[in-house]
């Protein structure tokens, strides 16, 4: 669960600002999922200590949608990333995302 005022560093909205709030994250996810409707995210490692949880992930998908401003290429893509979440009262209040979007863009020919 995400807090309504959470800040997600490393993900940006359409204006280039960090994604802030649960509603903005849902919109980001909807847009990303629109480009990759079959996206599978596999958590390869998960570590928790104190108020933080870290997940190392692998992402696989086929680019079949135009929602990211790039015409669908039907290319298979795979990339990795790490997300660190700070938790307060059982909700994510801040997150840091570092996903290999350079690899993703290369696979899409961007």
pLDDT single digits (tens) 58-70: 999 999 999 888 8
CA–CA distance, 69 with 64 (Å, rounded to integer): 12
Q: Which domains does the chain have, with CATH numbers?
A: 2-108 (3.10.450.50)
What integer pLDDT is reported at residue 2 of this predicted model?
85
| CA dihedral (62, 81, 8, 51) positive or negative | positive
User: Is the pLDDT score of 110 beyond 90?
Assistant: no
* pTM of the predicted model as reported, rounded to 2 decimal places: 0.86
**Burial status of residue 33 (CB atoms within 10 A of its CB: 0-12, 13-18, 19 or more):** middle
What integer pLDDT is reported at residue 40 of this predicted model?
97
Other CB atoms within a 10 A radius of the CB of residue 61 amount to 21
């Amino acid at each position: 669960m995400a807090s309504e005022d959470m800040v997600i560093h490393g993900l940006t909205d359409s204006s280039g600002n960090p994604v802030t709030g649960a509603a903005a994250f849902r919109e980001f996810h909807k847009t990303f999922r629109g480009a990759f409707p079959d996206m599978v995210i596999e958590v390869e490692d998960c570590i928790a200590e104190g108020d933080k949880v870290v997940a190392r992930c692998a992402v696989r998908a086929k680019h079949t949608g135009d929602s990211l401003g790039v015409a669908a290429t039907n290319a298979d893509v795979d990339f990795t990333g790490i997300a660190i979440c700070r938790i307060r009262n059982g909700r994510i209040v801040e997150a840091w995302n570092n996903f290999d979007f350079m690899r993703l863009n290369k696979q899409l020919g961007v």
